[in-house]
């Protein structure tokens, strides 16, 4: 059963609701990319909510990469918004990751999601 982000109460806590604050986006520089002044960045999107989440979207205005990013993992939807994991579920404490290449990192901020309550 899918609910909006406000519908699922965090299990075992004092009534807090799962929200975009329960999605952690971490970007790590992993290596230099070829002979350019570019770097490889690994992005890890982790679900910290005690429920599975889906339709995770991040704000990534300006995002670009010289390395092709699998659209099943990270796909532009327009207006600087990107869909993670093709909208599919991300289990609690699971991570979806991808690598991109550019001369600087891009700030990626959780924007919205749906929570699956059991």
pLDDT digits (tens, 9 = 90+) for 109-118: 999 999 987 6
For residue 57, pLDDT over 60 is answered with yes
Q: Among candidates 46, 58, 26, which has minimal Cα distance to 92?
A: 46
Q: Among candidates 24, 42, 37, 22, which has minimal Cα distance to 99?
A: 42
Looking at the structure of the chain, the number of domains it has is: 1
pTM for this entry: 0.84
Q: Could you list the residue range(s) of the whole structural domain that residue 88 is in?
A: 2-116
How far is Cα 43 from Cα 98, in angstroms, rounded to an integer? Answer: 5
The CATH number of residue 69's host domain is 2.60.40
pLDDT digits (tens, 9 = 90+) for 65-114: 999 999 999 999 999 999 999 999 999 999 999 999 999 999 999 999 99
């Amino acid at each position: 059963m899918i609910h909006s982000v406000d519908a699922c109460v965090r299990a075992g806590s004092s009534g807090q609701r799962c929200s975009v604050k329960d999605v952690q986006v971490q970007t790590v520089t992993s290596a230099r990319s070829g002979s350019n002044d570019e770097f490889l960045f690994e992005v890890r999107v982790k679900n910290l909510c005690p429920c599975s989440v889906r339709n995770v979207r991040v704000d990534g205005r300006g995002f670009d990469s010289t390395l092709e990013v699998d659209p099943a993992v990270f796909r532009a939807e327009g207006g600087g918004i990107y869909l993670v994991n093709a909208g599919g579920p991300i289990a609690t404490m699971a991570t979806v990751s991808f690598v991109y290449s550019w001369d600087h990192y891009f700030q990626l901020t959780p924007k919205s999601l749906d929570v699956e309550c059991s």
